[in-house]
Amino acid sequence: MNKKIKKTYDDKIHFYGRIWILGALGLFTLFPVILSVLYDAWPSAGPFFKALAGVAPIFWTVGAIEILTYTPMLGSGGSYLSFVTGNISNLKAPCALNAMNSANVKPGTDEGEVISTISIAVSSITTIIIISVGVLGLTVIRPFLESEFLKPAFANILPSLFGGLGVVYVSKNWKIALSPLLFMLILFIVSPINLSSYVGVLVPVGSIIAIVCARILYKKNKI
C-alpha cells in the first residue's frame, strides 16, 4: 500500500474510531442518567462507589489487557468496530481470524487489516439484523428456542465455534499452542470454581503464555 494512502487511511480510521468510541461511551453513560432523571432515583454516593470499587478494577484490567491482546490481531479498524459493538472473544475475533485464514492473509498486514475490518463490519450488521428479527418475533420463536430439543445445540455453540478455529491454528503452530492448551486444561480441571465466566481474563492470559513460549522456542531455533 502506498505510504501516503496508508497514512491517510490510518488517520481517518483513528479520527472516526475515537468519535465512535467516545459516542458509545456517552450513550452507555447517558442511559442510567436519563433513568435517574425521569424517576428521580439517584444512587447514594456511598453504595455507588462501594459497588464501583468491586467491579471497576476488574473491568479496567480486562479492558487494558484486551486492547493489547486483540488490537494486533484485528487491526485498527477492526478493533474500533469490535470495542464499540462488543462480544469480541465470542464473535468478532473468531470471525476476523476465520476471514483472514480463508483469504490467506496474516494479522498485522495491510491485507489483514482490510479483511478484518470488513469481516467485523459484516458480522456486526448481521448480528444487529438477527437480534432485531429475534426481538420482533420473540414471542413466536421463544417456545422453540427454549425447547429441550435445542438445549444441547445452544450449550455447544461456543465450543464448536472455537474448536473449529482451534483445529486450524493448532495444526499450523502446534508447538506454540501446546503450552497454553495444557495450562488451560489443567486449570479448568483442578479449579474448584466454574471458570467459564472468566473468559475475558483467561484469553489474554493464554495469549501471554503463547507469546512467551513462542519467544523461547524462537530463541532455541525450534520454530
Tell me if 187 sits within 8 A of 203, measured CB to CB: no
What residue ranges do the domains of the chain occupy? 1-136, 173-223
Is pLDDT at 57 greater than 70 in this prediction?
A: no
Contact 40, 63 (CB under 8 A): no
Which span out of 26-35, 161-170, 173-182, 189-198 was modeled with the highest average pLDDT?
26-35
- Residue pair 118/99 in contact (Cβ under 8 Å)? The answer is yes
Residue-wise pLDDT tens digits, 95-121: 888 889 888 888 888 888 889 999 999
Q: What band does 88 get if pLDDT is binned at 50, 70 and 90?
A: confident
Closest CA to 108 of 62, 151, 153, 72: 72
Instruction: Answer whether residue 178 shows pLDDT above 70.
Output: yes
**pLDDT the model gives residue 118:** 92
More confident residue, 170 or 57: 170
CA-to-CA dists, residue 118 to 5, 26, 36, 213, angstroms: 18, 25, 38, 31
pLDDT for residue 165:
66
